Structure 1
C-alpha cells in the first residue's frame, strides 16, 4: 500500500531551488498515483501570486507547473490563512485554487499523512 505524503513548500518562488523542487516532487508523485497533498506555508504562498514576473530575474515561470498539479492528480492543495494574510494575499485572487487553513487545521492536516517533507 502506498504511503501518503504531504509536501510543505515554504520558499518564495525565486529565493532558491526549494519552490521548484517541491513542485517537481509533487508532479512526480502525482504521476505515480502517490496519495499526495501540497501545503503552501510562510513565503511559499508567494508562489500563488498571479502577477509574478520571473523574466526580470532571468528565471523560469512556475505558473505552468502549478497549473499542471491537478492534471497529475495532485488536487489536495492548501495554503496557510495566516501566511496569506500576513503577505496581503486574497485567497480568491490566487493563480491556483487552494483551500486556506488556519493553524489548527494545518496541525490536523500534518497528522493525516504518513510522510511530511518540507522544502
Structure 2
C-alpha cells in the first residue's frame, strides 16, 4: 500500500515558485492514485482568493490547476480558517470546493493522518 502524503502550501501565489510546485506535486501524486492531501496555511490561503490578477504581478494564474484537483481525485483539500480570516478572506467564500475549513487546533490531527508531510 502506498504511503499517504500531505502537502502544506504556505506561500502566496505571487511570492515565488513554491505555490506552483506544491500544486504540481499534488497533481502528480493524484495522477498516480497516491493517497494525497493539500493544506493551505498562512499566506498559502491567498491561492484560494477569488478574482486574482496574476498578470499584474507577471505570474501564471494557478486557478486552473486548483480546479483540476478534483479531476485528479484529490478530495482531501484543507484550509486553515484562522489563516484565511487573519488575511481578510472569508473561509466559506474561497474559490475551491469542496474545501475542509480547519480550526488551528485541528491541523495537527490532520497532519498526523499522513505518513509523509512536505511543506512548501
| Normalised-by-shorter TM-score class | over 0.9
User: 1:86 deviation in Å?
Assistant: 0.2
User: 1:104 deviation in Å?
Assistant: 1.6
Taking the aligned partners of 2:109 and 2:51, their CA distance within structure 1 comes to 31
TM-score if structure 2 supplies the norm length?
A: 0.96
Taking the aligned partners of 1:18 and 1:11, their CA distance within structure 2 comes to 6
Taking the aligned partners of 2:113 and 2:51, their CA distance within structure 1 comes to 33
Taking the aligned partners of 2:61 and 2:85, their CA distance within structure 1 comes to 24
Moved more, 96-105 or 39-48: 96-105
Partner of 1:53: 53
User: 1:92 deviation in Å?
Assistant: 2.3
Q: Structure 1 regions of 5+ residues with no counterpart?
A: none
Partner of 1:112: 113
Once the two structures are superposed, the pairs formed by residues 23-38 of structure 1 within 5 Å of their partners are: 23-38=23-38
Moved more, 100-109 or 7-16: 100-109
Find runs of 4+ consecutive structure 1 residues off by over 6 angstroms. none
Partner of 2:63: 63
User: 1:91 deviation in Å?
Assistant: 1.9
Partner of 1:89: 89
Taking the aligned partners of 1:91 and 1:83, their CA distance within structure 2 comes to 9
TM-score if structure 1 supplies the norm length?
A: 0.97
Moved more, 82-91 or 14-23: 82-91
Q: Structure 2 regions of 5+ residues with no counterpart?
A: none
Q: Counterpart of 2:96 in 1: which secondary structure? A: coil
Partner of 1:101: 102
